[in-house]
Amino acid sequence: MAAPPRHASMRMPYTEDGSDEVVCAATTATPAKTHVRRQLIETASTNAKDIMEALFDAYVLDVASIVCACALGAQPGEKVLDMCSAPGGKALALATDMFPWQRWVETDVANDTAAASDDDDDVSSSPRGSVAHESDVVDDELGPAAPLAVKQPFTSESHLTCSEASAERRQRLARTLREHLPSRLFQWRNIRVANDVTDGAEWAHKAPSIFHRVLLDAPCTSERHLVRQAASRGGGGGGLMHVDWSVARCRRDAERQVKLLMAALRAVRVGGVVVYATCSISPAENDAVVRKVLMRCATDGEVEVCEDAGLGAAGTLDKDLPEVATREQVCAWMASRCEMTPCGGRIALPDRCDGFGPLFWCRLLKIKPIVEQRS
């Protein structure tokens, strides 16, 4: 836990030389930001000029963030909510699942109905759950996406809503998305950064039963970060300080996490999946949170834990993660090294995962509408 966290580089598929590979060789130090901006060529139709824009071709993150997105299993055509989305690595991974590269190289446009016709700004007011207008996407120093006078290259019902309560983190999130994703995803309202001023729990009321899938990577005590922080303060030694960690703080975080998870379950459709995740190793913030939510939903059997971890077939335990791997290989490798928790979730620890993590996640299936919150 005290060792420097290990990072990987997730390549993005939207540039000329783009791919969906993950460069895992990286080192324990955070790699320098040396990724060059390459040109994205989108052919919207045979009558329109090619559009070129500069995008970063990779994003540096912990492999655990990729695993969170893979466990959700987002697909093209779905409406997905990423709660507590900043700084943006998970959202980028979700976007590559929902908006695959092949959709961006099609040259034949069968119809002109790609642009959304809804005038509703709020996702909860639209029967299709469409995202809000371009003005609702957070505008940072990069500015809003430039209007495009061409057709959208495909008709897509895919919508990704990224929610973040902190204004500062929300600006960083918006900047990250614009630096790595095609501007048309914002121009055509496929991606929205929600201007939330709450802690995220309001999604239960703003968008009830709208989304096919919800990812909640909940704020937590993040013990590894605290250990590193304490070590840096103490000149390499130290341990946790009371001001950094306490049982009371764990309990406060757990109470907030229960509220957020209940909101996520209300926002997802019947038959939809919620992935609850933290980077904590505390059972109070992991299994205990899931158990409390299941108890609140126990009367009518509204929610159940999915037995599947959502990562596909596990790889061989003694096999090292390749220096350059596909996301499927990363997930298979992580599946072989994570452990099942008593509530049916999974936990991946740095000592078993070559320095990546920690990560706890649990997949929940909504069986019936949640009528009321029970204590």
* Alpha carbon distance 22, 90 (integer Å): 14
Phi and psi at residue 55, to the nearest 5° = -135, 150
The tokens of 57 are what?
């071709």
Q: Find all residues with CB under 8 Å of 127, minimum gap 6, and list them.
A: none
Distance (Å) of CA 190 to CA 41, 105, 112 = 19, 17, 16
Q: Could you give the CA distance from residue 226 to residue 1 in angstroms, rounded to a whole number?
A: 10
42 appears as a binding residue in the annotation: no
Pick the catalytic residue from 24, 220, 279, 331. Answer: 279
* Beta-sheet strands, E only, within 136-252: 159-164, 191-195, 211-217
Q: Is 86 annotated as a binding residue?
A: yes
- 106 annotated ligand binder: no
**Does 255 appear as a known binding residue?**
no
* 217 marked among binding-site residues: yes
318 CB-near residues (< 8 Å, 6+ apart): none
Q: How far apart are CA 352 and CA 338, in angstroms?
A: 8
Q: Could you tell me what percentage of the chain is helix, strand and coil, using 3-state DSSP and rounding each to the nearest 5? A: 30, 20, 50
Question: How do beta strands 359-366 and 346-348 pair?
Answer: antiparallel
279 is catalytic: yes
Q: What is the side-by-side order of every strand in the sheet holding 8-11? A: 58-61, 8-11, 21-23, 324-326
CA distances from 314 to 136, 331, 332 (A): 41, 8, 4
Looking at the DSSP assignment, which residues form a beta bridge with residue 191?
A: 160
Gap between the Cα atoms of 360 and 8, Å rounded: 19
Q: Is 84 assigned a ligand-binding role in the annotation?
A: yes
85 is in an annotated binding site: yes
Active site residues: 279
Binding residues: 84-90, 164, 217
Binding residues for S-adenosyl-L-methionine: 84-90, 164, 217
